Amino acid sequence: MPATVLISEVGPRDGLQSVARTLPLAHKLAWVTALHAAGLREIEVGSFVPAARLPQLADTAAVVDHARTLPGLTVVALVPNLQGARAAIAAGVHKLTVPVSASAAHSLANVRKTREQMVDELRRIAALRADLAPQVGLEVGLSTAFGCTLQGLVPEDEVIALAEQVVAAGADEVGLSDTTGMADPAQVRRLFRRLQAAVGRHAGAAHLHNTRGLGLANCLAAFDVGVTSFDSSQAGLGGCPYAPGASGNVVTEDLVFLFERMGVHTGVDLHRLVAARAVLQRGLPGEPLHGMVPEAGLPPGFVYADGRQPDADPLRAATAGLA
């Protein structure tokens, strides 16, 4: 069997929170269904935050309810506090993601708590999880781990110390997020190696942005040092509304192509993934969608890592008329 990576689709949460318009619920459900049909087996479907802060995600409980009917899908939701965790568990999610900022300035802007207060909140969430739903996963994404547009440099020693604290507080895994797109491949290799040395099996996913064009290079750097779980967003939607200049998640379509072309199995079918892109565009007409592979198509002779041949129709035909 070829090497395998997990592609965790975050567009329905990270992508939609950064779009000014609200994707109607029916379109959200159709989009999540199409992403699952493409072979994605972990999707962050929304977040449990006050509707006044992110009205685009006010219907997350309904999306969770639908996503739970899709076979083999791990349904993930972001929760910034104990109240959100309680609501997510009640809705039936399979995994909670808690954002903890490595940058002190970003922590206050994003969740209105200090880093220390967020570690305490995580400890309460872990206790709630243990009491109500021990089968639910609990992961932490360390936001702004590679730099912050509000604070500037984020010392690596502080990132690693914070990772150790969140594991001690009860997180099953802790990943590193390039929230503001400031990372470079050398930094990614160095910091993930340090994370692995510090927390061992608790080292988690790479959540990398393409703000300055280094998203795929940084994903490859993380893979080179043993990372096997990657967050990405269909069409590159997303960013952080509380970090100025934070735009551009890694494009799921391009990331899948990168790994499959290298012989690394993702389980994702690119033609069906592009079909999901069309579903998204119907719900958000005129919204800019990004990605090189959907525009260029698959090269002659392309085969998937497991030896499958792609569908006969050119990929570009499936994206005709899409921006």
Q: Please state the domain extents for the chain.
A: 6-318
Q: By C-alpha distance, which of 77, 67, 178 is closest to 129?
A: 77
Catalytic residue among 93, 98, 205, 240: 240
Active site residue 240: yes
Q: Which residue has the tokens 């340090």?
A: 194
**Quick one: pLDDT at residue 303?**
96
Cβ pair 235, 277 in contact under 8 A = yes
pTM of the complete model: 0.93
Q: Which residue has the tokens 């389980």?
A: 267
**Quick one: pLDDT at residue 2?**
67
Cβ pair 93, 75 in contact under 8 A = yes
Distances (CA, A) of 52 to 49, 57, 276: 8, 10, 29
Distances (CA, A) of 315 to 27, 151, 253, 309: 23, 42, 11, 13
Cβ pair 279, 30 in contact under 8 A = yes
- Per-residue pLDDT, averaged over 273-286, amounts to 95
**CB count in 10 Å sphere of residue 42:** 19
Does the pLDDT value for residue 273 go beyond 90?
yes
Does the pLDDT value for residue 320 go beyond 60?
no
Does the pLDDT value for residue 142 go beyond 70?
yes
Cβ pair 279, 34 in contact under 8 A = yes
Does the pLDDT value for residue 282 go beyond 90?
yes
We find that the CATH architecture of domain 6-318 is Alpha-Beta Barrel (3.20)
Using pLDDT thresholds of 50, 70 and 90, give the confidence band for residue 319: very low
Q: Where are the beta strands (DSSP E) in 135-215?
A: 137-143, 173-177, 203-207
Distances (CA, A) of 120 to 6, 80, 97, 169, 203: 30, 12, 15, 8, 20
pLDDT, the chain, mean? 92
Does the pLDDT value for residue 77 go beyond 80?
yes
**Quick one: pLDDT at residue 143?**
93
Query: What span, in angstroms and rounded, lies between the C-alpha atoms of 185 and 271?
Result: 29
